[in-house]
A and B are shown apart, each in its own frame.
Chain A
Amino acid sequence: MQETLKVSVWRGDGEGGAFQDFRVPAQANQTVLDVVTHIQRELDPTLAYRFACRVGMCGSCAMVVNGRARWTCRTHVRKVVQDGRLELRPLANLPVIRDLATDMAPFFDKWARAKGTFQPKDSADGAVPEEFHVVPPSSAKRQAADAGIECIGCGVCYASCDIVAWNGAYLGPAALNRAWTLVNDVRDGARRDRLDAVAGDAGCHACHSTQSCTERCPKGIDPSGAIAGLKRTLFWGMFGLDR
């Protein structure tokens, strides 16, 4: 007889909801996303969830699996299953649209608020820069920027951060990590504005270094370290120093 997984899936919307149990055939090689897809295709076509690439590139399939936020496409069931059980919830700290799909708008709005877009120094009007910046890959600033540049915006860190849960205005790990990569980008011209945008109780100074973001990031990025970098840069900046 084939083994089955007992899967509890959160069903509901912004108003509330409850867990619904499904039984899904266990396979030798099976990701959590495979399980969700099986439920929707074979058991209940009304289940709402989100995915696109299935290979850890797009960052759209993150959910809370057995209590921890993860990419479901890159999480093998055998790595997370407990006593044959899976518990699936939508990402925490974000409004639920329906079932396992959350509204990511507040998450990306905060990227904008942290001034997460590159502002070319020499060509504000889109013209060709007067001179090209030479950026040695081995320079300290470029390495600090490179350390956080691979973020794909999946929201796992944001859903894992208790400070976001306790302080609704807090920009969160991903937006602040993005700001830190740009603060270290010597080609960027909006450094001052960006540092102003990430200061204070809604910004980097709210972080308590629980390091849940660093612990959970599927890309191995260290947003907690990036936030500490912002604090350090703002601190020394008060004395006119660039550190």
Chain B
Amino acid sequence: MSARGQQHLWVAQRVTAMILGVAVVVHLVTILVAVRGGLSAAEIIGRVSGNEAWLMFYAVFALAAGLHGAIGLRGIAAEWLGWRGRRFDLAWLAIGLLTAAFGIRAAAGLYAA
């Protein structure tokens, strides 16, 4: 990958980080509220099911987290395992998008439940 492409990965990492900075705070507060008196499926589904705002939030959250995680793993693998090069870069991008798609699918499941 060109230096320009590597810079774009860094930008994607930081832009998703900014999104996650907000999303994780929301997520942590939700967790702290949700676990009061124990977690239940009815409680989670009652909150997300049929609610477009939560669906949108979780879709954006999952996309940002999937990409952010994969780009982070790419850096660690390059530095600690020596996994470098175009084929690894493409693999990490695929893993990031796949993880994100998996998360969006789960959010859609909660929305439809």
Residues of A within 8 A of B (CB): 163, 166-167, 196, 199-203, 205, 231, 234-235, 238
A201 and B4 contacting across the interface, CB-CB below 8 Å: no
Residue of A nearest to B82 (CB): A166
10 A-B Cβ contacts within 8 A? A166-B80, A167-B78, A167-B79, A200-B4, A200-B5, A200-B6, A202-B3, A205-B7, A235-B14, A238-B11
- Give every chain B residue within 8 A of A234 (Cβ-Cβ): 7
CA distance A196 to B7 in the complex (A): 10
In contact, B79 and A200 (Cβ under 8 angstroms): no
Interface size class of B (residues with CB under 8 A): 10 to 19
Contact B78 A199 (CB under 8 A): no
In contact, B78 and A200 (Cβ under 8 angstroms): no
B residues apposed to A, CB below 8 Å: 2-7, 10-11, 14, 78-80
- Tell me the bound Cα distance from A75 to B10 in angstroms: 39
Interface centre among B4, B6, B7 (most CB of A within 10 A): B7
Consensus secondary structure, chain B interface: helix
Contact residue among A163, A166, A205, A231 (Cβ-Cβ distance under 8 Å from B6)? A205
CB distance from A161 to the nearest CB of B (A): 12
Bound Cα distance from A201 to B85, whole angstroms: 11
Q: Are A166 and B3 in contact (CB under 8 A)?
A: no
* A201 nearest CB neighbor, chain B only: B6
Given A235-B11, A238-B11: A199 and B79 within 8 A (CB)?
no
Question: Which residues in A have their C-beta under 8 angstroms from that of B7?
Answer: 199-200, 205, 234
Known: A199-B3, A203-B3. A231 touches B10 (CB 8 A): yes
Residues of B within 8 A of A203 (CB): 3
The answer for the CA separation of A234 and B2 in the assembled complex, in Å, is: 15
Q: Which residue of B lies closest to A231 (CB)?
A: B10
Q: Which B residues are CB-close (under 8 A) to A199?
A: 3-4, 6-7
CB-based nearest B residue for A203: B3
Known pairs A167-B78, A199-B7. 10 more at Cβ < 8 A? A163-B79, A167-B79, A199-B6, A200-B3, A200-B5, A201-B3, A201-B78, A203-B3, A231-B10, A235-B11
